[in-house]
Each structure stands twice: as C-alpha cells, then as structure tokens.
C-alpha cells in the first residue's frame, strides 16, 4: 500500500513535469518576447494557481470536467476516459496547478539573456526556432532545471486540487500527501510518519541537488 501510493505520487509528478516542460517552454518564450496587449492577461492566468486556494481550482475542475459537463461527457463518450475521480483527472489538475512553477523560471531566464544574443543569431540567418533551440535554451540551463525541479516537487506536495478532483481512491488517485492526512485521521501515526518522512527526505535531497548544481553552473555559463 505504501509503495503503491509513493509510486503513484511520483508517476503523477513525472508525467506532469514532462508535459509542462513542453507546454511551458513555448508559453514562456512567447511571454518573454511578445509586445502584445494580451500579455498581462496571459501572465495573470498563468500565475493564478499561485494565489488561488487549490480547492477553488479543484471545484471548477469538478464542475467543468465532470460527467455532466460538456467537456466531461464528450471525453467520456468518445475516448471512454473519465476526467474526474480518476488518474487522468488528477493529472489535469496537477498540470494546471503547477503551471507557474514551470513557466516563471523559464520566462525570467529567457528575459535575463542579453537581447544582442538573439539579435546576433537572427543576423546570422537563424530562425526564431533555431535561435531558441541552439542559443536561448542552452544558455538558461539553470532556469530549465529550476523549472523542472520546482514543478516536480510542487506536484509531489499538491494536496487540495488532487483531493477535490481525484477523491481518495487507493492506487488510482490517492497520492502521498493525501495518504498522510488519511492516516492521521485514522490515528495511524506511524504510517503517516513514514509518508511524511519520505516526502521530507526526497524534497530536501532534490532541492539540495539543485542548489549545488546551480552553483556550479553559475560559475561557468554553458
């Protein structure tokens, strides 16, 4: 039971991180380069999960993805996937909720690069995509790593959204953070401690690793 829950927790975190990595880069790139009037609106939407109570997001996901909603019933009828109280559901919730943790570091990394690097690449005949791939991203490895780790760690630590959207189904949507709450309610302090200590240790190690690596990177930028 313990192992199953921990594995599920890391599975959700891993998939969320991978998905957000590939969605986050184009959005961060757009935000870092655009002069559009829409920018503040998009920035606000991306940042909302930072200030909203997780239960608010969870609540609206339940409403809009539930089997009685348009989206929920469409996906269920056509793909036979239920979007709430399911693994897919907590995945969507996690992706939305961890959005700013991936986008913000990458965006600020891109913005901190000297503009002349990008312009130099353009004058050398390279397209925006080539410039992003070969010049911008390789020079913000710090920020990419920060985005990946923060997203992963934040997803592991998520509680409210997952509980609202996923319920608490063992092996399907019960993640470690919920399991702790569950075990405490059942006065099962030993098991709760086992979960808590594991999460604590893993989070500590990941963050420590990031800070060590970032320190090395900041000396030599490549």
**Where along the sequence are the contacts to other proteins (CB under 8 A)?**
114, 116-117, 119-127, 134-135, 138-139, 220-222
CB of 120 to other proteins, least distance (A): 4
- How far is 31 from 68, CA to CA, in rounded Å? 35
Of 131 and 155, the one with the shorter C-beta distance to other proteins is 131
Of 40 and 125, the one with the shorter C-beta distance to other proteins is 125
- DSSP sequence for 48-93: HHHHS-HHHHHHHHHHHHSTTSHHHHHHHHHH----SSSHHHHHHH
- DSSP sequence for 9-62: HHHHHHHHHHHHHHHHHHHHHHHHH---TTHHHHHHHHHHHHHS-HHHHHHHHH
Of 55 and 127, the one with the shorter C-beta distance to other proteins is 127
Q: In terms of Cα–Cα distance, which of 83, 106, 79 is closest to 20?
A: 106
Of 68 and 218, the one with the shorter C-beta distance to other proteins is 218
CB of 112 to other proteins, least distance (A): 12
- How far is 179 from 202, CA to CA, in rounded Å? 16
Of 19 and 137, the one with the shorter C-beta distance to other proteins is 137
Whether the Cβ atoms of residue 66 and residue 119 lie closer than 8 Å to each other = no
CB of 83 to other proteins, least distance (A): 41
- How far is 212 from 200, CA to CA, in rounded Å? 18
Say what the alpha-carbon torsion angle 93, 95, 96, 100 is, to the nearest 10 degrees. 140
Neighbours of 41 (CB within 10 A): 10
CB of 127 to other proteins, least distance (A): 7
CB of 148 to other proteins, least distance (A): 18
Of 18 and 124, the one with the shorter C-beta distance to other proteins is 124
CB of 26 to other proteins, least distance (A): 20
């Amino acid at each position: 039971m313990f192992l199953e829950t921990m594995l599920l927790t890391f599975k959700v975190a891993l998939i969320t991180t991978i998905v957000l990595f590939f969605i986050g880069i184009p959005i961060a790139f757009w935000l870092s380069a655009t002069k559009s009037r829409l920018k503040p609106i998009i920035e606000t939407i991306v940042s909302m999960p930072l200030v909203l109570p997780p239960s608010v997001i969870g609540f609206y996901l339940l409403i809009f993805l539930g089997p009685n909603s348009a989206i929920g019933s469409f996906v269920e009828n056509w793909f036979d996937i239920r979007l709430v109280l399911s693994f897919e559901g907590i995945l969507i919730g996690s992706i939305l909720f961890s959005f700013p943790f991936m986008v913000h570091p990458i965006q600020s990394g891109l913005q901190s690069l000297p503009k002349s690097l990008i312009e130099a690449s353009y004058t050398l005949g390279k397209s925006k995509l080539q410039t992003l791939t070969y010049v911008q991203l390789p020079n913000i490895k710090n920020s990419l790593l920060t985005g990946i780790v923060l997203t992963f760690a934040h997803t592991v630590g998520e509680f409210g959204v997952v509980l609202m959207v996923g319920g608490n189904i063992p092996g399907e949507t019960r993640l470690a953070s919920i399991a702790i709450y569950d075990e405490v309610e059942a006065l099962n302090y030993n098991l709760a401690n086992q979960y808590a200590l594991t999460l604590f240790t893993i989070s500590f190690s990941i963050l420590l690793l990031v800070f060590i690596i970032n320190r090395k990177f900041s000396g030599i930028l490549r």
